[in-house]
Structure formats: C-alpha cells, structure tokens
Structure 1
Amino acid sequence: MQQQTGGAHPRPRIETLADLIFGLSLSIGSIALIANPPKSTGEITTHILAFAYTFFVLITAWLIYTTYMSVLPIETRTVTFLNVGLLLLVAIVPYLLNGVEVASPALNPAEVSMIQNYSSQLFALDLGGILIILATFAHVISLEEKRLVAPELVTLFRNGRNRMAILAVLTLLSVAPQFWEWTLLGVPIRLYLWYPPLISYWVGRAVRPDSRTYKLA
C-alpha cells in the first residue's frame, strides 16, 4: 500500500491535551461561581472580577503557548517534560484562586486569612512557574543554531524570553509574607503584583503587536 504524502499533518496529541486542559480550567472557574451563590450585590461584582482575572490569566497563557508550540518541535524530551509541567500548573490555577477568593463560613477570620495567604502564595509560585516555562520555550526558539525561526524573528523571541523571566521574578517575589501584610485600599500588595504579566502582554499586543504575536508586518 502506498503511503500518503502531503496534506495537513495531525496535531501532536500534547497540543490537543493542552487545549482540553486550558478549556477545563476555564470551565472549572465558571462552575465555581455557580457553586458559591452570592450573599450580596458586592459579592456578585467580586466573583465576576475574580473570574475575569482567572479567564485572562488562562487565555493569555494559552495564546503565548500556542504561538510557541507552532514553532517548537514537540517530540523532544525537554519540550515534552516542560509541556507536562505547564499543563499541571495550568490545571490547578482555578483551585488556588478559589482558595484566595472564597472563604468557608465555618472558619473564623484568622483561619480565613491564613488559608487565603497560603493559597495566594501557592498561586504566586504557580504563576511564576508558568512564566518560567514559557520563558524557557522562548529561549529554545531563540537559539540561532536550532534555526527554528527566521533570523529576523530571533530578537523578538529573545525579548519575549527576557520579559517573561523578569515578570516571573516579580511574581515569585510576591510570595514574601510582607506582601500579604502590606495592603493598598484594603487589598494585599501581593494581589497587585499578579497583574503586571497581564498588563505587559495586552498593552504590548496593542502597542506593538509583533512583539507578542512574533510575526513581522
């Protein structure tokens, strides 16, 4: 039997699994809203904002991830292990953020604060880990000797690597206990330090699309 050539190649299974996990993580976030009926109008707003943050974290990571996977050779051992690690970190995002936002009525304020503090520390580590893995992907792509992208795109991927490495360090620094104790407008500083990765991506995409899509006009 003659082997067929040409045509579209099937997507690597790890990419299909990644889409499924990203989608499930988004779904779990919305289910968490339904499972915790609001007790006031203020809680409705808080829950929506919390879900919006979860949504943007996941969708931003997915956009960057799919851009890199369109270039990276999936079959290498390093890339496979990094993929598995990334998907694990993505899968637990809704659980950790739910621990930061939702408090059990059976707990006293001190216990609630302790759990929220611990959950927020774990999420900071989780988000930092996601950024480090994405930065590693960008580093692999930027290696000129691998010739994974055109020479004129190498600088874009190097800049992306450096940017995400800096954001990862900033996010990991927020794990320090002081950033939970220090507050601004009643909100721990740690939570504010989770926004720069989102701001960096979306503002950069609006101002310089090529720096985030890695496609020259």
Structure 2
Amino acid sequence: MTQKEGYARPRPRIETLVDLIFGLSLSIGAVALITASAPSSTYDINRRILAFIFTASFLITNWMVYTYQMSVLPVETNFVIYMNVVMLILVATVPYLLYNVEFANPNLTVPEYSAIQDYASSLFAIDLATILAILASFSHIISIEEKGLVAPRLAKQFRQSRNVQAGLSVIVLISLAPIFWDLSLFGVQLRLYIWVIPIIVYWVRRSVQSR
C-alpha cells in the first residue's frame, strides 16, 4: 500500500449542517405563529396557518430532494461545497422573508406595508428560485453518465428532474412580474399561488414514478 493510499481523505460534512438548517427553519416558522401579533379575525388565523403549511411543505419537499441527491453526490468538489453554503443561507432566510410577507407592522401606513410586502415577496421568490436552481445543478452533476454516480436508468431520471427543477425555477422567477402581485384571487396575490407549483409538481411526479 502506498503512502497516498494509507491516509484517510478528509470529507466535509456540510450536508449535515444543511439538514440542521432545514429543520431549524421549519421550527422557526412554527414559532412565528406563536410570537406574531394576535390575529384580528378568523381570516388572519387561516392566512397564517396556510402560510406555515406552505413554508413547511416547501422546506420538507426540497429537503427530501436534497437528501436523495446527497446520498449519491460526492461533496468533495468545490462547486458542490459552495452550493451547499449558498443553500444554507437561502434556507435560513426563508422564515424571515415569509414573516415579512405575512405579518403587518401596525406602525406602518397601508402603502408602506404594501411596499414592504411586495419587496419581501420578491426576495422570497428569488430565494425559492435559487434553491430550485441549486437542486437542478446537483441533479445535473448526478445525471452525467461519465461520472458513473448512478446507474444509467437513474441517470435518466436525474436528467428529467434537472429539467423540471430548472423549469420550476424559471416559473418562480416569472412570479416577480408586478402583475402577479397586483392581481389576487380570494384575497391572495397570484404570486403566492405560483410558489405552490413546485410543491405540487414534485408530489405528482413522485406519485407517478412510484407506480
């Protein structure tokens, strides 16, 4: 055995930290329901619960995709490490941005609060789109058959996942258009409905593939 073969190579464990941040963000979202100002109507209660359900669903869905990818993706490359760091930051900011979208500051005027909501929701959309883009990049790396990370059949599935994730990232970015904030349905801006699309697509694809 050569000297090079005799030494263990250090392996970063940043994916464990990302797992922790996913769980922490989920917990913060739940705590926000308790610490927020008291609701003034049943509509406020329903809106806040739906906001938490959305956040939890998005975080859980993307965590499932992420852990599946990390089970076969080597973390030694600089690109994967850097993308994991970016993922850490993006996931950690999800609860804060959504909090500013949902909860009003009573000291602000209606125009001021609306402007903050619009800005926070725009940042939130960029956050979600970037997370999806990072997941798409991971799927792309895994799908390269020359790397031999997975069997050819799975490589094809990862290529399909890459295309879907990249497309969903673009769709979320499209929600940045002002019209999707100005128009609403049942009192909820269309931008928020668009954010639900990635969650629906993931679970529909999962149901179809499991048959």
Query: d(CA) in 2 for partners of 1:135 and 1:56?
Result: 19
1:198 aligns with 2:199: yes
Point out the more displaced range, 70-79 or 38-47. 38-47
Q: How does 1:57-136 map to 2 (within 5 A)?
A: 57-136=58-137
Q: In the comparison of the two structures, how many residue pairs are matched?
A: 201
Q: Give 1:144's aligned residue.
A: 145
Q: Give 1:23's aligned residue.
A: 23
Q: What do the CA deviations read for 1:56-99 (whole angstroms, capped 9, x no partner)?
A: 01001100000000010011111000111111111100011111
Query: d(CA) in 2 for partners of 1:60 and 1:12?
Result: 24
Structure 1 position 186, deviation (Å): 2.7
Q: Structure 2 unaligned segments of length 5 or more: list them.
A: 1-10
Contact 2:139 2:158 in 1 (8 A): yes
CA RMSD of superposed structures (Å): 1.5
% same residue: 57
Structure 1 position 12, deviation (Å): 5.0
Query: d(CA) in 2 for partners of 1:34 and 1:45?
Result: 14
Aligned residue identity for 2:129: G
Query: d(CA) in 1 for partners of 2:71 and 2:39?
Result: 41
Contact 2:18 2:87 in 1 (8 A): no
Q: Give 1:3's aligned residue.
A: none
Query: d(CA) in 1 for partners of 2:45 and 2:186?
Result: 19
Give the 4+ runs in structure 1 shifted more than 4 A: none
Query: d(CA) in 2 for partners of 1:149 and 1:195?
Result: 30
Query: d(CA) in 1 for partners of 2:20 and 2:197?
Result: 26
Structure 1 position 111, deviation (Å): 0.9
Point out the more displaced range, 181-190 or 79-88. 181-190
Structure 1 position 192, deviation (Å): 1.1
Q: Give 2:4's aligned residue.
A: none
Q: Give 2:186's aligned residue.
A: 185
Point out the more displaced range, 43-52 or 140-149. 43-52
Contact 2:94 2:127 in 1 (8 A): yes
Query: d(CA) in 1 for partners of 2:49 and 2:31?
Result: 12
Q: What do the CA deviations read for 1:132-187 (whole angstroms, capped 9, x no partner)?
A: 00000000000111111011111100000000111000000111112111222332
Query: d(CA) in 2 for partners of 1:203 and 1:161?
Result: 16
Aligned residue identity for 1:25: S
Query: d(CA) in 2 for partners of 1:94 and 1:71?
Result: 29
Q: TM-score, normalised by structure 2?
A: 0.91
Q: Structure 1 unaligned segments of length 5 or more: list them.
A: 1-10, 211-217
